[in-house]
A and B are shown apart, each in its own frame.
Chain A
Amino acid sequence: MDPVAAKYIGAGLASLGMGLAAIGVGTIFGNFLSGALRNPSAADGQFPRAFIGAALAEGLGIFAFVVALVLLFVV
């Protein structure tokens, strides 16, 4: 296979990871919202925790993004 083509295919495959991280972030905020609607008084106290979870899930998507960028611009 042409190395340049392989590079772009690899970057495209790496960007799939960002979509998968989006599922994780969506799950966290969806569950947070459904919990918050059941008990709104407890929601504010758990807000930072929702963000920690979302940040940790999002970080893995960012890893995939960095892999795609490295393939596109560095390799």
Chain B
Amino acid sequence: MAAGGGIDPIHQFEIKPIVGLRPFGLDLSFTNASLLMVLIVAVISIIMIYGSSQRSVVPGRLQSLAEMIYEFVASTVTGVMGKEGMKFFPLVFSLFMFVLTANMLGMVPGSFTVTSHIVVTAAFAFLVIGTVLVYGIVKHGSHFFGLFVPSGVPGWLLPFMVLIEAVSFVSRPISLSLRLFGNMLAGHIALKVFGGFVVALLAAGGAATVIAPLPLLLAVALTALEFLVAFLQAYVFAILTCVYLNDALHPGH
């Protein structure tokens, strides 16, 4: 790509091994992605464990942060699934916290965005859909497949509707993983490309140097937008998880 004045916008997503481990021909190296994941879990643990260890009536900064996140996710879960949805709260909360922290740590310059790799987001999406399938079939048995049969549809239309519902169900893990992956990838590429414009304009010299601060200002604005997207995508991931789990809790239309 020549777009960024010779700067490759894809280079930032490269996975580099830090500690090489290759037992039995398997690549189990500790990479920069693994390091970031360990860091993410450490950050979440510090916020939640220290935040909930004080338990004072007047919360401190860390405690109110932990309480705010808890209240926020709990209201989302009960809002979509109702009271009995709280049994899925640990899953939704873990997913939300991991995705949010991964997106936010990815915004630190020079760090690595774990969620910009489809293997990570696809693992989350298949975990969610796997939970929906296993819970739905164990809890409701064959009644779970009523999910694919909408009520109040004329008989001749029913096969098509079942087909459409089935296709929409199968495409859920794909769209759930691609949405998070695509948003994070696109945002970081856009930041890199605008940064590349600054370098290219400065390198061109002459009149081009005068307009070089313009893409820099845009890159600052884009960074603010990326922080919004980082939160929003974690929220969207959590709420769609709730919507899909709701199908397992209450199948049938």
**Are A and B physically bound partners?**
yes
The answer to whether A65 touches B179 (Cβ under 8 A) is: no
Question: Does B178 contact A72, Cβ atoms closer than 8 Å?
Answer: no
| Closest chain B CB from A24 CB (angstroms) | 14
> How many whole Å from B43's CB to the nearest CB in chain A?
25
Number of interface residues of A (CB under 8 A): 14
Write the chain B residue with the least CB distance to A48: B239
Known A-B contacts A48-B239, A51-B239; A69 and B185 likewise in contact (beta carbons under 8 Å): yes
- Contact assessment for B243 and A66 in the assembled complex, using a CB-CB cutoff below 8 Å: no
* Candidates A56, A62, A73; contact of B182 at CB < 8 Å: A62
Q: Which residues 42-75 of A have a CB within 8 angstroms of B? A: 48, 51-52, 55-56, 58-59, 62-63, 65-66, 69, 72-73
List chain A residues, Cβ under 8 A from B186.
62, 65
Distance in Å from the Cβ of A48 to the closest Cβ of chain B? 6
Name A5-63 residues within 8 Å CB distance of B: 48, 51-52, 55-56, 58-59, 62-63
Q: Which residue of A lies closest to B233 (CB)?
A: A55
Report the Cα distance A62→B233, complex, angstroms.
13
Chain B 228-251, CB within 8 Å of chain A: the 1/0 string?
A: 000010011001100100000000
When distances are taken between beta carbons in the complex, the residues of chain B under 8 Å from A58 are: 179, 183
Number of interface residues of B (CB under 8 A): 18
Instruction: List, in ascending order, chain A residues with CB within 8 A of B232's CB.
Output: 51
B179, A72: Cβ atoms under 8 Å?
no
Q: Are B1 and A72 in contact (CB under 8 A)?
A: yes
B178–A51 contact, CB under 8 A?
no
Cβ-defined contact, B182 with A66, below 8 A: yes
Minimum CB–CB distance for B245 against chain A, Å: 13
Whether the pair B240, A48 counts as a contact (CB closer than 8 A) is no
Instruction: Assess whether B79 is in contact with A59, with CB atoms less than 8 Å apart.
Output: no
Q: Chain B residues near A52: list those with CB within 8 A.
A: 236, 239-240, 243
Flag if B80 contacts A48 (CB, 8 Å): yes
A52-B239, A55-B240 given as contacts; is B10 within 8 A of A73 (CB)? Answer: yes
Instruction: Please state if A55 and B182 are interface contacts (CB–CB under 8 Å).
Output: no
A55 lies within 8 A of B236 (CB): yes
Interface string of B176-198 (1 = CB under 8 A from A): 00110011011000000000000
A48-B80, A58-B179 are known; give 10 further A-B pairs, CB within 8 A.
Answer: A51-B236, A55-B236, A55-B240, A56-B175, A59-B175, A62-B178, A62-B183, A63-B175, A65-B182, A65-B186
B contact set with A: CB distance below 8 Å: 1, 10, 76, 79-80, 175, 178-179, 182-183, 185-186, 232, 235-236, 239-240, 243
Interface residues of A (CB under 8 A from B): 48, 51-52, 55-56, 58-59, 62-63, 65-66, 69, 72-73
